[in-house]
Structure 1
Amino acid sequence: MLLKFAYQDFLDDRRFKNTSKINIKNYETLLGEFVSYCIKNEVVNVEDISYSHVRQHLSECQERGNKAGTINTKLLRIRAFLNYMVECEVIKSNPAKRVKRQKEDVKIDVFNDDQIQQMLNFYRRVKRREKSYFAYRDYMVIVTILGTGIRRGEIINLQWSDIDFMNQSISVYGKNRRKETIPITEKLSKELSAYHAFCKQHWGEVSDFVFVKRDNTQLTENALALIFRYLGQKMNFKDVRVSAHTFRHTFCHRLAMSGMSAFAIQKLMRHKSINVTMRYVAMWGNELREQNDKYNPLNSLDI
């Protein structure tokens, strides 16, 4: 089967299975890169793809500066495509299965208190000076993620009807398209309520979506990325990347540092497996030890 037709068939199958637009885009970008590599190297049929083609492509990606996490993501996309080809009986086995994942660094960056205050103060100043909706919107985007740990896709799809001010909770559709309810604090509830009142005053007619673009329509994935890129340029932090994921990791980090149980963190982060949560807890173990050394009750006892 011609590779270019197999690639399109695979994408059509993902769309038919209602795969999210973000994941479809990732397949188009990451898998498309592999397809282009194969065609460039005169591998035009799926049946001709070998273990060495997959490994060589990923090696070249590594030489171009791709980190282990990116390499592993690309490998997963290629494996999914070739698994589909096995299901369709185009090939007998998946050659990418023999390619091993790379070991990834376990360090995950989070924001410290000073960095968080610096970002919030930046938006407060702009909001006061310009009375800008966009400064208020961007401020509320980071406050909402810091207060809930919700993901990028959940932020852009969040609607006012998803927010229950009475019971202080929000509903989101998680990774598996499953509706999940997350508790929010009274503080965040008040912030969102004030923001809703501002939106009503600014737009006249409030959109269904909590975060909107200049034409009062739903914020897009690209527009959200531009928010964080702009903020990152303004902050110019040397040791941490300004992104939605870093805010989510910061939320998780603060929960772990507070002494919250791994089970409770799993529920708030909505990790599918407790093992994922435990990786985070283990990662920040040294900081937990430092906090314990500093605040342990035995420190103040004469024993």
Structure 2
Amino acid sequence: MPVYRKHGKPEYTYDFQFLGRRFSGPTGTSNKRQAERILEQKRQEARSKLKAAASFTAEGPMTLEIAASRYWLEVGQHLANADNYYRFLGWLLDHFGKHVTLDRISDSLVAAMVSQRRSDGVSNATVNRTATVPLRGIMTRAKKTWKVPVGDIDWSRHMLKEPKERVREASQDEEKRLLNAMRDDYAPAVRFALLTGCRRMEIVDLTWSRVDFFGRMITVTGKGDKTRVLPMTDAVHALLWALKDHNPTSVFTYVARRTNKRLKLVKGTRYPITMEGFKTAWRRYRDKSGVENFRFHDTRHTAATRTLRTGNMKIVQRMLGHEDITTTAKYAHAMIEDMRIAMEAANHTGSHTGRGKKVTSELKDKKKSA
């Protein structure tokens, strides 16, 4: 019987089978007519669910809606920027329509998509990362992993040129000004970034369980939930040791400046720093410091460039967690500059001894500042 009452229960229960699967549960009503209507709704829902499930594994043409949903479940939700990626996939669905099949997406449609995204007034990098790259990811996975037909797209024609990422290093004076202007509770997080090259999210998420004072190591979780181990230098050890009694779990914390009942904050109490709170503090106090043209990501550039002056490219690659050393190669300018200074010293010998001493001194000063 599709709807029935369990012994001693006034409410009806539904129970039916569809395509070999059983569906059952409470209807939430003691009225049989209403229970039968709910039963029909549940049958419709079951049909839709099984149809969607069949589409997920179908080998024929797949709709963009199904493909985006599957890509989100298998890839998107596990990315470090998952919230943003969810929005990117939503934009693609709004642009193409949910029911377009992947085999009908052509170079012409992709070019129109790029044009539409550019008309929003965003940069080339934003067009690539919010539209072209997500769509390429869906279609590549559909073709290679799901084995479903997709349009033949020449992606190289649709990726817009992006300016090379700059490498902005903070001078010793700029670093001092930044830290002096920063709030006392946020300054250690900024100092840690300058010392280790860690990303903002890696700093916010750092817990004491990943700090090994005895082994002098720190384990950080970066993009794609990939972990890497960083050695604890004397400067980092001293910085973290001063913070160890602030919070039992989170390494970096802030002091609430006012009581906020809605957010459950009590004035004067320490709480783990948040991503948004850290961003706000950085913008406010960086501007106050007077240091111009310096973004938070530049703390990572600063740490990498300084380390490269006394180490090598492989060391910096491991420190930053780059999979491909070509990504690290943008810091090569530091080695080239020091090479120039060393060559100047080597070429100004003999009758130019004074110049050689000056250049050698310059190289030593750069090593000390690093």
TM-score (ref. length: structure 1): 0.76
Cα RMSD for the two superposed structures = 3.0
Could you tell me whether the CA contact under 8 Å between 2:106 and 2:151 is conserved in 1? no
Which residue of 252, 269, 274 corresponds with 1:211? 252
Distance of aligned partners of 1:238 and 1:160 in 2 relative to their CA distance in 1, 3 Å threshold:
same
Amino acid at match of 1:14: V
CA distance in 2, matches of 1:270, 1:102: 26
Could you tell me whether the CA contact under 8 Å between 1:30 and 1:77 is conserved in 2? yes
Give the total of aligned pairs. Answer: 274
Q: Give the corresponding residue for 2:321.
A: 270
CA distance in 2, matches of 1:292, 1:64: 49
Answer yes or no: is 1:229 the counterpart of 2:287.
no
Could you tell me whether the CA contact under 8 Å between 1:83 and 1:94 is conserved in 2? no
CA distance in 2, matches of 1:152, 1:121: 19
For residues 275-296 of structure 1, what are the alpha-carbon distances to aligned partners after superposition, in whole Å with 9 as ceiling and x for unaligned? Answer: 2222321x456644554466x3
CA distance in 2, matches of 1:92, 1:61: 22
How far the C-alpha of 1:35 sits from its partner, in A, is 2.6
The structure with the largest helix share of the pair is 1
Overall identity of the aligned pairs, in %: 22
Aligned ranges for residues 67-216 of structure 1 at < 5 Å?
A: 67-74=123-130, 75-86=132-143, 87-93=145-151, 95=153, 97=155, 99-106=157-164, 107-123=166-182, 135-197=183-245, 199=246, 206-212=247-253, 214=256
- Which consecutive residues of structure 2, in runs of 5 or more, have no partner in the other structure? 1-61, 257-264, 353-370
How far the C-alpha of 1:297 sits from its partner, in A, is 5.2
The structure with the largest strand share of the pair is 2
* Higher radius of gyration, 1 or 2: 2
CA distance in 1, matches of 2:274, 2:136: 29
Q: Give the corresponding residue for 2:114.
A: 58
Which residue of 239, 243, 252 corresponds with 2:304? 252
The alignment partner of 2:110 has SS state of helix
Q: Structure with the greater relative contact order (CA < 8 A, sep ≥ 6): 1 or 2?
A: 1
CA distance in 2, matches of 1:220, 1:95: 41
How far the C-alpha of 1:251 sits from its partner, in A, is 0.9
How far the C-alpha of 1:19 sits from its partner, in A, is 1.2
Distance of aligned partners of 1:231 and 1:210 in 2 relative to their CA distance in 1, 3 Å threshold:
same
Distance of aligned partners of 1:293 and 1:31 in 2 relative to their CA distance in 1, 3 Å threshold:
farther
Aligned ranges for residues 236-247 of structure 1 at < 5 Å?
A: 237-240=291-294, 242-243=295-296, 245-247=297-299
CA distance in 2, matches of 1:80, 1:113: 42
Distance of aligned partners of 1:259 and 1:299 in 2 relative to their CA distance in 1, 3 Å threshold:
farther
